Amino acid sequence: MHILLAEDDALLADGLAAQLKGAGFAVEHAPNGAVAEYLLGRHAFDLAILDLGLPLLDGLSLLRKVRAEQPLLPIVVLTARDSLEDRVSGLQAGADDYVTKPFDFPELEARLHALLRRTRARGSGLQVGGMLLDRDNRRATVGGEAIELSGREWAMLELLAERAGEVVTKDEIVRAWMGDEGDSTAVGNAVEVYVHKLRRKLEKPGLVIRTVRGLGYLLESPAPGPTAGARG
């Protein structure tokens, strides 16, 4: 499970990241709200942990932005703000859980696993940038509007979305189409043709399929520029 940890206290972030990694999570740390926004727009995370007192872009503003753009992403607020008003504001802004500092790691870990279980139980949706993939129905939508995809386009898009931010080789795409018997030398040109078609269809959600020469293809969402905001 890939977690984004947005926390400006370096000592706390280092300690918590080490505990999360020890519990089997892959962790990426953002020291401020602007970096967190950048990473969330570029990579696919299974869960985000957000502090509210982030510099450059405060946690509550970041929470609202992320919730609007990635409605399926599980988000836990981890903050020293423990008033009822703060809790209500965080939950209303889109947090799935609200944990106050100081905290015991075993409880936090249990909450993360519970949230991930609930998320998996809701269905097999996958969100990348502004695009939502419904894998049960093999359907991709942007703002509720469907993207028309052929069978091969869907298989390619699903693979690229699952590995958003990582390079997918041509051989892996061919195997997604044809199974282990697929031969990339026989359909190599077809991969390039379908990449070209898919690029055009992903212009509206603002997604880019980048060619990594000699390696393969990478799906990414162009990151927004740094946003100034009040420290909360």
In which band, very low, low, confident or very high, does the pLDDT at 4 lie, cut at 50, 70 and 90?
Answer: very high
Q: Tokens in use for 13?
A: 């972030």
AA identity, residue 110: A
Note the pLDDT tens digit of each residue in 170-207: 888 888 887 645 455 556 678 889 999 999 988 877 78
Residue 53 near residue 60, CB atoms below 8 Å: no
- The domain spans of the chain are 2-121, 125-220
Give yes or no for a contact between 41 and 57, defined as CB atoms under 8 angstroms apart: no
Q: What is the pTM of this model?
A: 0.56
Task: Report the CATH fold assignment for 125-220.
Answer: Arc Repressor Mutant, subunit A (1.10.10)
Q: How far apart are CA 209 and CA 123, in angstroms?
A: 26
Which percentage of the chain shows pLDDT scores above 70? Answer: 87
Q: Please check whether residue 7 is in contact with residue 189, taking contact to mean a CB–CB distance below 8 angstroms.
A: no
CATH architecture of 2-121: 3-Layer(aba) Sandwich (3.40)
pLDDT value at residue 221: 73
